[in-house]
């Protein structure tokens, strides 16, 4: 049963990571239907997110290689390295490399500063429900009033910092990493597709870093009760094999969802996702208020 539950959670992660509905919130809610209604945990969530970020790496491989190449050549070329082609600091890919680094700083600093609260307090279903509603409405407003003219090449340092701060909000389940960053992009005047594309690229350092850090902690101290990956010491939680299986499912499903979502954004709005978030949030509030589920 644990393997089946892990596979279901991997499916949920793959389906919800890239659309603005908060994958961490859905994993938290899905935990209600596990044996004993257990929260899958922040560590398990961070590790299986490696699967969806690997999907980003595969899907945007050419873009990522181009950005990394321009960034490295820009740094080395500016120091006068012999035999290396020069890349101007005004080059869009060189600037994009810097902006991804700058935009990753807020979530790293805040993630370390509030790690305990992220793993405990912030996972309350009351917080999840309120965030689903509030940030869903904010996304709808951003989609309605955003000018939708700028492309990724128009990114500035100021915009990169704002994107980074919006991404940091996703440390709280219910906000949505893609929803927060895409919403910020829309308010800054970027097109839906440009906002989503940069959101996916911006997530790579932070999510890979978080997932690998949690994986390191599990390997280093497998019997820690803070780790949501099971072993012989905590048999009621997921095993390493279960977690790996969930990560693979998240990767495969995530690849399909990225393609679908980017195609959808060329003609569709975020309003269906806004409505879904609000309805789900209100449903959670009602169930919590009635005592049907516990926070």
Instruction: Write down the mean pLDDT value for the chain.
Output: 85
Helix (H) / strand (E) element for 106: namely: helix 92-113
Kindly state whether residue 93 falls inside one of the protein's structural domains.
Answer: yes
Kindly state whether residue 98 falls inside one of the protein's structural domains.
Answer: yes
Task: Output the CA torsion sign for 64, 69, 70, 76.
Answer: positive
108-122, 190-204, 229-243, 271-285: range with lowest mean pLDDT:
229-243
Taking alpha carbons only, the member of 60, 57, 55 closest to residue 256 is 55
Statement: residue 131 has pLDDT above 70: yes
Statement: residue 56 has pLDDT above 80: yes
Kindly state whether residue 44 falls inside one of the protein's structural domains.
Answer: yes
* Average pLDDT, integer, range 271-279: 95
Q: What domain range includes position 276? A: 2-289
Q: Report the distance separating Cα 82 and Cα 197, nearest Å.
A: 34
Give the pLDDT confidence of 155-172 residue by residue, as tens digits: 999 999 999 999 999 888
34-38, 187-191, 230-234, 263-267: range with lowest mean pLDDT:
230-234
Of 151 and 295, the one with more pLDDT: 151
* Average pLDDT, integer, range 73-82: 67
Taking alpha carbons only, the member of 67, 58, 57 closest to residue 92 is 67
Percentage of the chain modeled with pLDDT above 90: 49
**Is 203:177 a contact under the CB 8 Å cutoff?**
yes
Kindly state whether residue 294 falls inside one of the protein's structural domains.
Answer: no
Kindly state whether residue 135 falls inside one of the protein's structural domains.
Answer: yes
* Average pLDDT, integer, range 253-276: 93
Specify the pTM. Answer: 0.85
* Average pLDDT, integer, range 117-124: 82
Q: Report the distance separating Cα 195 and Cα 63, nearest Å.
A: 15
Kindly state whether residue 295 falls inside one of the protein's structural domains.
Answer: no
Statement: residue 153 has pLDDT above 60: yes
pLDDT band at 251 (very low <50, low <70, confident <90, very high): very high
SS3 for the chain, per residue? Answer: CHHHHHHHHHHHHHHHCCCCCCHHHHHHHHHHHCHHHCCCCHHHHHHHHHHHHHHHHHHCHHHHHHHHHHHHHHHHHHCCCCCCCCCCCCCHHHHHHHHHHHHHHHHHHHHHHCHHHHHCHHHCHHHHHHHHHHHHHHHHHHHHHCCCCECHHHCCHHHHHHHHHHHHHHHCCCCCHHHHHHHHHHHCCECHHHHHHHHHHHHHHHHHHHHHHHHHHHHHCCCCCCCCCCCCCCCCCCCHHHHHHHHHHHHHHHHHHHHHHHHHHCCCCCHHHHHHHHHHHHHHHHHHHCCCCCC
Kindly state whether residue 13 falls inside one of the protein's structural domains.
Answer: yes
Statement: residue 49 has pLDDT above 80: yes
Kindly state whether residue 36 falls inside one of the protein's structural domains.
Answer: yes
Q: How many structural domains compose the chain?
A: 1
């Amino acid at each position: 049963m644990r393997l089946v539950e892990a596979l279901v959670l991997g499916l949920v992660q793959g389906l919800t990571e890239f659309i603005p509905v908060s994958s961490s919130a859905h994993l938290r809610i899905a935990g209600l239907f596990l044996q004993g209604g257990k929260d899958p945990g922040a560590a398990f969530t961070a590790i299986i997110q490696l699967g969806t970020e690997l999907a980003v790496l595969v899907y945007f491989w050419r873009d990522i290689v181009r950005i990394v190449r321009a960034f490295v050549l820009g740094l080395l070329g500016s120091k006068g390295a012999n035999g290396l082609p020069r890349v101007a600091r005004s080059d869009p890919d060189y600037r994009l490399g810097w902006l991804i680094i700058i935009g990753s700083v807020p979530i790293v600093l805040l993630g370390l500063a509030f790690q305990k609260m992220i793993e405990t307090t912030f996972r309350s279903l009351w917080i999840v429900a309120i965030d689903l509603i509030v940030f869903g409405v904010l996304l709808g407003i951003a989609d309605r009033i955003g000018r939708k003219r700028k492309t990724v090449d128009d990114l500035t340092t100021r915009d990169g910092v704002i994107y980074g701060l919006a991404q940091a909000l996703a440390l709280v389940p219910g906000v949505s990493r893609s929803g927060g960053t895409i919403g910020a992009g829309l308010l800054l005047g970027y097109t839906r597709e440009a906002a989503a594309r940069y959101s996916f690229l911006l997530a790579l350092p932070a999510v890979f870093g978080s997932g690998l850090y949690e994986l390191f902690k599990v390997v280093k101290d497998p019997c820690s009760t803070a780790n949501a990956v099971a072993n012989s010491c905590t048999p009621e939680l997921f095993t390493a094999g279960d977690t790996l299986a969930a990560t693979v499912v998240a990767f495969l499903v995530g690849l399909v969802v990225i393609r679908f979502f980017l195609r959808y954004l060329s003609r569709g709005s975020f309003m269906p996702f806004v409505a879904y978030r609000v309805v789900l949030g209100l449903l959670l509030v009602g169930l919590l208020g009635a005592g049907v589920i516990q926070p």
